[in-house]
Chains A and B, each alone.
Chain A
């Protein structure tokens, strides 16, 4: 069985450290496809959702036991995926959301969740404020929270006005693409000040590639999960029976999508890189930038006529921050 493809299939769930010296690692990083093989908040939320669904079927387990199991799964995933600080942020967000939902009956808003998690991380790991990966992670989530709903709504309303939004295949595919684009666009804008310090440029080609591929990221995650379960089954079966060679051929069939991805990466690497140079942000510019994103978030919420955000004032800001 191909080691490389197998490792990459497992990496779709748990992430994989791509060797920058290898041609594949270098290629995937250059074209921005490496994000498919990095465990993120997206993977944590998918895994916990799936596990919650399984647990909801088991009626003989108490709520407390279910909550503990769910938290253990999140912790286990974080440990297997390399116990990185950015994944800790995501795992804490999910853990916090589960606890508050289960025991306070409240749905924690994404913005509050981010604030609490940052607070917890800074209290327990004060040195982590220097970590670049944490800064990028927080900035990306901040971008998603503030901009994604706004950009997405604008894009959809631009193309599908009123009754045109039928749930036929083509519009659904387009809506998924728009959602994916607005997500990565928001992430890029959220991280822009950090990008200006680190690389000084944004690649439009990479934005296009990540947008396109993220439409399939959910399917790829489940493919990785299916592969892990299949390998686990084979591992157990090998103890009892001699597996026929046909099983190996079938296993390789399961890895076909990974092979397609690698082929796709080779085609993408032929595309010319279009980049935009980002001027270096000074401290004031960084503050103005994030305040603007926050303002957009509030304006959008007020447009949606949510009472708590109807008036943008210090009072509502305090309300947002309140537990």
Chain B
């Protein structure tokens, strides 16, 4: 009996040590493009600070989070919802049900099922301290001395409150109260949040589902320059990734988050052609699965 207990205890302890060693956060910046099928979910972590950009279409994002975050850490410091399309917001309710979120960055409200589920989850006890922030051009979030996150779009946020508790935000939207947000004719894709992550000399541009119009606007405003890695907009659709945008940013690596054999035939051959002509190495989640980039701020490499 005692021998069996000893074996169980030793095996459990060894497993625990192995898991601790495997999941202990490094002091480098990690960017994980989760394979969530046709959708986007990007986990960015630096030490114990974690940020999730979008959550894919379903609960697949949870597998990615549990594999890449320490098992004892169930807190996401920041969640960015680039826009309210199902392939970006579908898994958010599962994330909110399983992780405590400190800040949620939103630029728009929506009518989709995923958005309603997210609002319901925001009212839960777990998210009582979560804060919803209106996202717009010019904001900056600093997560370490050398690491900053710049918001390059949309031009203005469409939320009725600038910063409020998630439960209050959810109650306002779930009630029939008239919304005070600005009226816009842009499509949700065009109002997608665009993020530029800078970590010392490493630049990563996350385009969400932004269109070519948004890309040209970024060039006109002089907001972008040469970058290292580009998360290609709209899963490689031909509505995004303008040639002059690629020529301006000259990414060394272009990550396309799309599902295997997806019904939209993403990525489009035209986009792939443009990227290849500009010497960008294409990394696709439908071919490689989850893609993990790691950087010390001067060099970066694919970790898996």
Residues in B with CB closer than 8 Å to A3 are 97-98
A to B CB contacts below 8 Å, 8 in the list: A2-B98, A2-B99, A4-B94, A24-B59, A24-B60, A24-B62, A24-B63, A256-B71
Q: Are A259 and B15 in contact (CB under 8 A)?
A: no
- A266 to B97, alpha carbons, bound, how many Å? 21
Q: Are B59 and A22 in contact (CB under 8 A)?
A: yes
B16 within 8 A of A: yes
Contact of A2 among B59, B60, B66 (CB under 8 A): B66
A253 within 8 A of B: yes
Residues in A with CB closer than 8 Å to B16 are 253, 256
Q: Are B98 and A4 in contact (CB under 8 A)?
A: yes
Task: Assign chain B's interface to a size class.
Answer: 10 to 19
- A105 to B66, alpha carbons, bound, how many Å? 52
Residues in B with CB closer than 8 Å to A1 are 74
B72 within 8 A of A: yes
- A253 to B71, alpha carbons, bound, how many Å? 8
Shortest CB distance A244–B (Å): 13
B142 within 8 A of A: no
- A22 to B94, alpha carbons, bound, how many Å? 10
- A260 to B19, alpha carbons, bound, how many Å? 10
- A178 to B19, alpha carbons, bound, how many Å? 30
- A144 to B67, alpha carbons, bound, how many Å? 37
Instruction: State the main secondary structure of chain B at its contact with A.
Output: helix
A254 and chain B: residue at smallest CB distance: B12
Residues in B with CB closer than 8 Å to A259 are 66, 71
Q: Are A23 and B60 in contact (CB under 8 A)?
A: yes
Q: Are B72 and A249 in contact (CB under 8 A)?
A: yes
Residues in B with CB closer than 8 Å to A5 are 66
A260 and chain B: residue at smallest CB distance: B15
B58 within 8 A of A: yes
A252 touching B71 in the complex, CB below 8 Å, given contacts A2-B98, A3-B97: yes
B100 and chain A: residue at smallest CB distance: A1
Contact of A4 among B19, B62, B72 (CB under 8 A): B62
A262 touching B63 in the complex, CB below 8 Å, given contacts A252-B74, A253-B72: yes
- A253 to B16, alpha carbons, bound, how many Å? 8
Shortest CB distance B114–A (Å): 13
Contact of B59 among A23, A257, A260, A266 (CB under 8 A): A23
Shortest CB distance A114–B (Å): 32
Shortest CB distance A169–B (Å): 10
List B25-63 residues whose CB lies under 8 Å from chain A: 37, 58-60, 62-63
Residues in A with CB closer than 8 Å to B71 are 252-253, 255-256, 259
- A257 to B19, alpha carbons, bound, how many Å? 11
Shortest CB distance A5–B (Å): 8
- A21 to B59, alpha carbons, bound, how many Å? 10
Residues in B with CB closer than 8 Å to A263 are 66-67
- A23 to B63, alpha carbons, bound, how many Å? 10
- A258 to B58, alpha carbons, bound, how many Å? 20
Shortest CB distance A131–B (Å): 30
- A211 to B59, alpha carbons, bound, how many Å? 27
B19 and chain A: residue at smallest CB distance: A256
Residues in A with CB closer than 8 Å to B15 are 256-257, 260
Residues in A with CB closer than 8 Å to B58 are 21-23
Binary contact readout A284-316 vs B (1 if CB under 8 angstroms, 0 otherwise): 000000000000000000000000000000000
Shortest CB distance A231–B (Å): 15
- A21 to B62, alpha carbons, bound, how many Å? 15
List B56-97 residues whose CB lies under 8 Å from chain A: 58-60, 62-63, 66-67, 71-72, 74, 94, 97
